[in-house]
Amino acid sequence: MLTDARLVAAKDLRIEMRSKVTVSQVVPFAGLVLVMFGFALDANRPTLDLATSGLFWVTVLFVAVMAVQRSTAIETTDGARRALLLAGVEPSAVFMGKAAAVAVQLLAVELVLIGGIIVLYDASIEEPLLLVATCVTATAGIAAAGTLLGALVAGVRARETVLPILLLPVLAPVLLGATRAFDDALGAVAVNGWSWLAMLVGFTVINVAFGVTAYGVLLEET
């Protein structure tokens, strides 16, 4: 199953690499959002300091919606989904693979965004370990929930509008948890970021487990 998952992930990532959309559109979009927030908050340093982690994760959620949409589109075109099933790949492996591919893209964007907040928002990283752990855990959770809900709206005509409606409320705990953990890691607010990280782990475990079990049902249905 892990081999299959790796194959699916590699396939998705290769398609993304070749299309160059992540590099040429998604990353610039993320940077643009950062700049826009800077304008919106009137480049007010104290406000920006307090808002940095929240803005970071809101941007990540926007990017996640785009990434999931693209990841789903890969399978819906040309009946690729059916072909995957016929090839005898376990639905749970497909889920893990697609989620991993989304996670890798998100992590790449987050890397750029961290550079962005350091340069544009003057953020300083006080606890690198917490920062990395938060990114990895939260991203895994976002990718898992996103991949499942992406499959859910696959083939629906109005999926561009339906996906955010479904995904964003589900990701609300991630936004809460990751933002608080980042507040700690960036030294912006005195909170215990590690307990928030524990909450994120809970979210990720629940959503990965549910995704692994439920993905097959959605895959067979359409």
Partner 1 sequence: MTTTTASDITGTRRRGTGSRTTFWLGSVGLVGVVVLILLGFFAAPADDDQVDAVRMIFIHVPVAMLTYVAFSLTAVGSVLWLWKRSIWWDTVALSAAEVGVMFCGLTLFTGSIWGRPTWGTYWDWGDVRLVTTMILFLIMVGYLAVRSLDGDSATLATRAAVIGIIGAVNIPIVNRSVTWWSSRRTLHQKSSLTDGNLEDLTLFTMMFGLVVFSILMLWMMIHRFRISWLERQVSEGNLSEALIARRAEAMVAVETGRVGGAIQPELGRQPDKGGFGEVEDSK
Is residue 152 a contact point for partner 1 (CB under 8 A)? yes
- Measured CA to CA in angstroms, residue 127 lies from 37, 132, 185, 204 at distances of 24, 9, 5, 22
**Footprint of partner 1 on residues 106-145 (CB under 8 A)?**
145
Q: Name the one range near partner 1 by CB under 8 A: 58-66, 73-81, 120-128, 174-182.
A: 174-182
Instruction: Tell me whether residue 140 or residue 218 sits nearer to partner 1 (CB atom).
Output: 218
Instruction: Tell me whether residue 30 or residue 171 sits nearer to partner 1 (CB atom).
Output: 171
**DSSP 3-state assignment of 156?**
coil
Is residue 173 a contact point for partner 1 (CB under 8 A)? yes
Element (H, E) at 39: helix 27-40
Is residue 50 a contact point for partner 1 (CB under 8 A)? no
> CA–CA separation, 14 vs 37, rounded Å?
32
> CA–CA separation, 132 vs 99, rounded Å?
19
Determine how many CB atoms are found less than 10 A away from the CB of residue 44.
11
Give the binding site for partner 1 (CB under 8 A): 145, 148-149, 152-153, 156-158, 162, 165-166, 168-170, 172-173, 176-177, 180, 195-196, 199, 202-203, 206-207, 210, 214, 217-218, 221-222
